[in-house]
Every structure is written in structure tokens, then in C-alpha cells.
Amino acid sequence: MTTRYLLTDVAPLGGTPVDVLLADGVIAATGPDARAQAGDDATVIDGAGLVLLPGLVDLHTHLREPGREDAETVRTGTRAAAAGGFTAVHAMANTTPTQDTAGVVEQVWRLGRDAGWVDVRPVGAVTVGLEGERLAELGAMAQSEAAVRVFSDDGKCVHDPVLMRRALEYVKAFDGVVAQHAQEPRLTEGAQMHEGVVSAELGLTGWPAVAEEAVIARDVLLAEHVGSRLHVCHLSTAGSVEIIRWAKSRGIDVTAEVTPHHLVLTDDLARGYDPLFKVNPPLRTAADVEAVRAGLADGTIDIVATDHAPHTREDKDCEWAAAAFGMTGLETALSVVQETMVDTGRMTWADVARVLSSAPARIGRVDDHGRPVAVGEPANLVLVDPAARRVVDPREQATKSVNSPFRGRELPGRVVATFLRGRATVLDGVPCDDDAAVSR
Ligand SMILES: NC(=O)N[C@@H](CC(=O)O)C(=O)O
């Protein structure tokens, strides 16, 4: 039998404090019933001042296994996810070999299940080898044990409009979604950072906003034409927010994500030539940051997704032009959303539960996650201390890589505990290594 937990005086979604009993993998009782049913054997966690949210769900994580286990493995990446308050993650397809067959997605799914930290939902590649030439085995991946519902060539754009159209049409058969990495390749050849004043000053090749916006505009029209579901990865510009707003007003079935780093960091950071700030799509301007915050607050942008992109020191500790694109994010996402959206009064904790849990769970068709905090629901939960503050030290994080752009920065909030089907994966802010993989 798994441990029973009595969380006392916790605030579900930041609301009125209440006692909550977790038993047999579910929320067994709330209020006075919780204490009455807890019995003597329940582990009591003092939840005064803490917020209880549904476990976070990431639609966009790079776990790097198979192929780049030197940067991250399914085990280290999912342990980092649990530390960050996640109970489910989607593992992106740009592995080696590519997650473009039933065999590879099943391998990743099994590694996730055996690690036991979070539920891993592999993303399937749209095209074979992410090469943009032939559709991958979408149906076989959907029907595999991994039950793939999200398909993406992330890291690369599906730039051929005919292939994109076919993928959008094909995934309808199994209620899938195509998640597009919107980057017009010809407009971004050799690009190193956002195209603007700073790139001109530094003499680095620019990645113009239009290279993202042109693909999003095309794809929302394609999605409308074929009546399919489209998801836009890591949207980063004010113009992209406008296009999504327009598409939604027309009733087009599109969803969009923003990353934590695009909610706060700007292209000015490139001035130090520190590749920690090199990412795809690039950090944009302060006006873009304001536009994505406004878009997230008004629901134009549906979710926050980490785009956790771990890289080895070798791939990051070099000159800007040679460095890999990408930043880690699983262990700082919730804090950045708190700092930029909650502490600024733009969103409530209920909104946070929507953008980091229920909406991504719905887009990815992940059952049992992102559910209401209510009796009978699966106990996939995270307990957060919003009053805590910490200085980010990547060496203390669970991820194998240290390329956090928040290194040395003080951020609000701390994950106190994470529960996966009622089993604690994190307690007192520390991953429960002894218990991992015990009960799945
Ligand atoms: N987001 C990133 O900067 N990097 C991603 C892929 C990508 O989108 O380029 C990665 O896999 O490292």
C-alpha cells in the first residue's frame, strides 16, 4: 500500500485553505472528512501558506535519450521534471535515432515508465528523420503502446506546405495534433539571434520576427482549410500573438504555447555574448515580452511549455556562433510564471493551473492529469510555497545540464512536494530517490 498523506490547511488553486487526504492514488477526501478518514498512519504535511495545484504537464521537453545521454537521460530529465512540479511531460522527437517509428517512441515511453518520476508521453516526428521530405509512420506511432497524440519536427520547421497539409489531415483520424516549430528556413539561414537593433550592433546574423509569423499565418490557414487541430510551439513575437488572436476569432482550431524564458528575457542579454542566452526562437524585444504576457493573460496563448533543452558544457561553453541553441527550464518554469504573471497581478493561481496543467493535458490528450483538485480525482498534484525565494544554482538542479539562463537570479516560489498517483516524487523540495520506480 502506498503512503497516505494528509495535507493540512492547503489552498487548492490559491483558494480557501482546507485539509486534503491522498490515499490509494486519488484525492480521497477534503475538509473535515479528510482528517476524520486519515487515521493514525497518514503522513501529515503542514500546508499552511502553501498552494495546491494539479501536477504540471509539459507539452515540450527535450529528454535527449536516445542519442545524447551526455546532456540528459529520460531518468535525469524526468527527475528534474518532478522537482519542478511536473507529473507528465511530452518528450520531443529530435532524438538520435529520431522518434519517428513505433519502436523508438515505445522505447522512450518504457524508459519513462521504468524511471517512475512522471508520465512520459513521447512526441512523434512529423517527417522521417525530421528531414521534411516524407511523412513518418504517424498512424503506427498513434496506435503503439506510447499512444502518440502530439506530432512535431521541433528543432526544425515542417516548411513544405503540402507535407504540412497532409500531416494535419492525417492526424485527424486519431485525434492528434501537429505542433509546429514555426521558422521559415530561408529567412533564418545562419541566424544567431533576434533581428533588430542589438543584432545590428553586435554584427550577428538576425532571425527576423517575420520568419516565425509567416509560417504561423500559413499554418492557421491550412488548419482552417482542412479542419484540423494545430498547435504552435514557443511563440515569441507580438505579431504572432496578433495572428493567433485573429485565427481564434475566426474559430480556427489552433492553440499556442509560450516558454518561460520568452516571458521575461530579452535580446539585450546577447550583448555579453554568453551562449546561455542563445535559444531558438531567439529572445526578442521588451515589446514582444509585453505582448506575450498580455496574450497569455487574455487566453490568446493557451499554455506555458518549457522547451527544456539541455546541452553539454562542450556544446554551450564556446563562442556564440558555435554554441547550440537551447536552455533548461523544467526546474524554473513555475517560478518564472509566478514572477511574471501572478506576482504582477495578471493571473491567479487558478489561471496557472490552466496554463501549466489542464490546458496542456487537454492539448496532448493526457488523461488523468490536469484534473480538478476534487474528491475522486487522481492524486497528480504539486504543493507550492509562493512566499519562498531562492537563487538559481544549476549545479544544485536535478537536470544533467547546467545551461539555465536564470543562473544566479533570485526567483520566487518553491516546489515543496509533487505527487504522482498519490506517491510522493518530491518531498521537502527534494526528489524522493528511494521511492522512485516503486509504484507505477
Ligand atoms: N529550443 C532550442 O533552442 N533548442 C531545441 C530545438 C530547437 O527548437 O531548436 C533543442 O533541441 O535544443
**CATH number of the CATH domain containing 10:** 2.30.40.10
Is the preceding omega at residue 17 within 30 degrees of 0, hence cis?
Answer: no
Ligand 1 site, residue 262, Cβ cutoff 6 A = no
Query: How much is the average pLDDT of 115-143?
Result: 98
User: Does 397 fall in a domain?
Assistant: no
Round to whole Å and give the CA distance between 266 and 276: 13
Ligand 1 site, residue 332, Cβ cutoff 6 A = no
Q: 37 and 91 in one domain?
A: no
Edge-to-edge order in the sheet of strand 56-61: 56-61, 86-91, 119-122
Distance 14 CA to ligand 1 centre (A): 33
Taking CA atoms only, the protein residue closest to ligand 1 atom 3 is 326
Q: 229 and 170 in one domain?
A: yes
Ligand 1 site, residue 325, Cβ cutoff 6 A = yes
User: Does 257 fall in a domain?
Assistant: yes
Ligand 1 site, residue 364, Cβ cutoff 6 A = no
Q: 151 and 296 in one domain?
A: yes
Q: 63 and 42 in one domain?
A: no
Task: Convert the pLDDT of each residue in 248-297 to its tens digit.
Answer: 999 999 999 999 999 999 999 999 999 999 999 999 999 999 999 999 99
Round to whole Å and give the CA distance between 57 and 350: 15
Round to whole Å and give the CA distance between 211 and 216: 9
User: Does 166 fall in a domain?
Assistant: yes
Query: Other CB atoms closer than 10 Å to residue 166's CB: what's the count?
Result: 16
Look at residue 439 and tell me whether its pLDDT is greater than 60.
no
Give percent of the chain with pLDDT exceeding 70.
98
Residue 374 CB burial class (10 angstroms; 0-12, 13-18, ≥19) = exposed
Q: What is the pLDDT of residue 435?
A: 52
User: Does 440 fall in a domain?
Assistant: no
Edge-to-edge order in the sheet of strand 303-304: 150-151, 177-180, 230-232, 254-258, 303-304
In the set 307, 315, 433, 434, the catalytic residue is: 307
Q: Which atom of ligand 1 is least distant from the CA of 278?
A: 3
Task: Convert the pLDDT of each residue in 1-22 to its tens digit.
Answer: 679 999 999 999 999 999 999 9
Round to whole Å and give the CA distance between 152 and 179: 5
Choosing from 60, 63, 94 the residue with most ligand 1 atoms within 8 A of its CB, the one to mutate for a pocket test is 94
User: Does 293 fall in a domain?
Assistant: yes
Query: Other CB atoms closer than 10 Å to residue 173's CB: what's the count?
Result: 10
Q: 60 and 47 in one domain?
A: no
Q: 193 and 77 in one domain?
A: yes
Cβ pair 152, 233 in contact under 8 A? yes
Ligand 1 site, residue 326, Cβ cutoff 6 A = yes
Q: 354 and 233 in one domain?
A: yes
Q: 96 and 33 in one domain?
A: no
Q: What is the pLDDT of residue 437?
A: 45
Query: How much is the average pLDDT of 420-426?
Result: 98
Is residue 307 annotated as involved in ligand binding?
Answer: yes
User: Does 117 fall in a domain?
Assistant: yes
User: Does 402 fall in a domain?
Assistant: no
Q: Which atom of ligand 1 is least distant from the CA of 310?
A: 12
CATH of the domain at 148: 3.20.20.140
Q: 89 and 116 in one domain?
A: yes
Cβ pair 102, 131 in contact under 8 A? no
Domain count, the chain: 2
Q: In sequence order, what DSSP letters do the residues of 295-357 get, joined into one string? A: HHHTTSS-EE---B----HHHHSS-GGGSPP-B--TTTHHHHHIIIIITTTS--HHHHHIIII
Taking CA atoms only, the protein residue closest to ligand 1 atom 4 is 326
Choosing from 58, 234, 279 the residue with most ligand 1 atoms within 8 A of its CB, the one to mutate for a pocket test is 279
Q: What is the pLDDT of residue 1?
A: 61
Q: Residue 291: left if φ>0, alpha if ψ -120 to 50, beta else—which one?
A: alpha
Q: Which of 49, 44, 39, 54 is nearest to 9 (CA)?
A: 49
Is residue 369 annotated as involved in ligand binding?
Answer: no
User: Does 437 fall in a domain?
Assistant: no
Task: Convert the pLDDT of each residue in 171-183 to its tens digit.
Answer: 999 999 999 999 9
Q: Which atom of ligand 1 is least distant from the CA of 233?
A: 8
Distance 39 CA to ligand 1 centre (A): 49
Ligand 1 site, residue 181, Cβ cutoff 6 A = yes
**Active-site annotation holds for 307:** yes
Phi, psi angle pair for 113, to nearest 5° = -60, -45
Look at residue 440 and tell me whether its pLDDT is greater than 60.
no
Is residue 94 annotated as involved in ligand binding?
Answer: yes
Q: Which of 435, 408, 404 is nearest to 419 (CA)?
A: 435
Q: What is the mean pLDDT of the chain?
A: 97
Ligand 1 site, residue 277, Cβ cutoff 6 A = no
Look at residue 241 and tell me whether its pLDDT is greater than 50.
yes
Taking CA atoms only, the protein residue closest to ligand 1 atom 8 is 155
Choosing from 60, 62, 68 the residue with most ligand 1 atoms within 8 A of its CB, the one to mutate for a pocket test is 62
Q: What is the pLDDT of residue 2?
A: 75
Round to whole Å and give the CA distance between 45 and 39: 14
Taking CA atoms only, the protein residue closest to ligand 1 atom 2 is 326
Q: Which of 326, 332, 401, 373 is nearest to 86 (CA)?
A: 332
Query: Other CB atoms closer than 10 Å to residue 31's CB: what's the count?
Result: 12
Q: 324 and 250 in one domain?
A: yes
Look at residue 298 and tell me whether its pLDDT is greater than 50.
yes
How many helices (H) and strands (E) would you count in the chain?
13, 19
Distance 171 CA to ligand 1 centre (A): 24
Is residue 64 annotated as involved in ligand binding?
Answer: yes
Q: What is the pLDDT of residue 76?
A: 98
Rounded (5°) CA angle 224-226-230: 60
Task: Convert the pLDDT of each residue in 57-84 to its tens digit.
Answer: 999 999 999 999 999 999 999 999 999 9
Round to whole Å and give the CA distance between 156 and 168: 17
Q: Which of 185, 194, 298, 192 is nearest to 236 (CA)?
A: 194
Look at residue 201 and tell me whether its pLDDT is greater than 90.
yes
Q: Strand, helix or coil at 168?
A: helix
Round to whole Å and give the CA distance between 12 and 7: 11
Q: 348 and 423 in one domain?
A: no
Q: 170 and 63 in one domain?
A: yes
Residues 6+ apart with CB under 8 A from 113: 120, 440
For residue 43, give its domain range: 5-52+375-388+409-431
Ligand 1 site, residue 309, Cβ cutoff 6 A = yes
Ligand 1 site, residue 154, Cβ cutoff 6 A = yes
CA distances from 116 to 108, 308, 439 (A): 13, 19, 8
